[in-house]
Amino acid sequence: MPIDNPILVIGATGKIGSRVADRLAARGHPHRAVSRSTAPAFDWENPAGWARAMEGMHSAFVTYVPDLAAPGAPEIIEQFTATAEASGLRKVVLLSGRGEHGAELSEDKVRQSGLDHVIVRASWFNQNFDEGMLLPSILSGTLALAAGDKLEPFVDAEDIADVAVAALLDERHNGATYEVTGPRLMTFADIAREISAASGLDVTYVPLSVEAFHAALLPAIGKDGADLLADLCAEVFDGRNEWLGDGVQRALGREPRDFADYLAAAIANGAWRQAA
């Protein structure tokens, strides 16, 4: 792809989008990093503003919020791809979630569009524990989730961003669906133990029923958010994701980072220091 093909990065202040934008900036590749708080803004809830953000762009890295499995997401993604085509975009790299039926319907909308596309279908992110929704749980010492003793191949945001940037910049990835995971299947009890050992915190995993998890979320994030997260846990922690993907290896020709590498980097960057 010629260097002057600019890339729209949607969700550019988030865990993955910020890393994608940083990598493009480091290469000097023209890009426009957008979220609800940028000018121009990009808000999934305001389709009237999408074309302005897309103006002059060749490709887009797409983070959909709250989740591609949320009710109505496939219809919104269909509207997004139509607007993208009408705005002259040629390619979409979509960040998706692994083992989510609703997300697969959203992926299909991208595949059925006239756009070149790459699907980056990720397992749970390592960075949920220090940058994301599970940070307060780690700081409180209690990691309570409806995940039982199921195994998950947690993946590093740095690897997801590396795959996304490769997919954006190199046309040979077009049409691929990359199942990006880490190299190790781990339970949440393993995670609590490894974070505790590396950080000096005392973190315990408490498995909850889906009903108890929903009840615990309700006061904090309301019914829609609690429904979404409880349904997602019920779906993806039924054993379907207890296998390693090969998306990092296929896209980049190297092995993914291990959870131990993540811990070392996170602690070097000051993760969880506020709990000490």
Chain residues binding ligand NAP by CB under 6 A are 11-17, 35-37, 42-45, 63-65, 67-68, 95, 97, 122, 124-125, 128, 132
Decide if 198 contacts 126 (C-beta within 8 A): no
Would you say 1 or 185 has its CB closer to ligand NAP? 185
Would you say 36 or 193 has its CB closer to ligand NAP? 36
Q: What is the DSSP string of 178-194?
A: EEE--SS-B-HHHHHHH
Would you say 55 or 171 has its CB closer to ligand NAP? 55
Would you say 171 or 246 has its CB closer to ligand NAP? 246
Closest CA to 127 of 261, 220, 24, 12: 261
Least separation in angstroms between residue 275's CB and ligand NAP is: 21
Least separation in angstroms between residue 217's CB and ligand NAP is: 15
Taking the C-alpha atoms of residue 120 and residue 117, their distance in angstroms, rounded to an integer, is 10
Would you say 125 or 188 has its CB closer to ligand NAP? 125
By Cβ distance, which residue is nearest to ligand NAP? 14
Q: How many angstroms from the chain centroid is the CA of residue 204? A: 25
Taking the C-alpha atoms of residue 12 and residue 163, their distance in angstroms, rounded to an integer, is 16
Least separation in angstroms between residue 67's CB and ligand NAP is: 4
3-class state of residue 127 by DSSP:
helix
Residues 220-248, buried b or exposed e (16+ Cβ, 10 A)? Answer: eeeeeebbbbbbbbebbbeeebeebbebb
Least separation in angstroms between residue 17's CB and ligand NAP is: 5
C-alpha torsion angle, residues 33, 35, 41, 45 (rounded to 10): 140
Least separation in angstroms between residue 2's CB and ligand NAP is: 27
Strand partners, 10: 34, 62
Would you say 64 or 262 has its CB closer to ligand NAP? 64
Least separation in angstroms between residue 221's CB and ligand NAP is: 13
Taking the C-alpha atoms of residue 259 and residue 29, their distance in angstroms, rounded to an integer, is 30
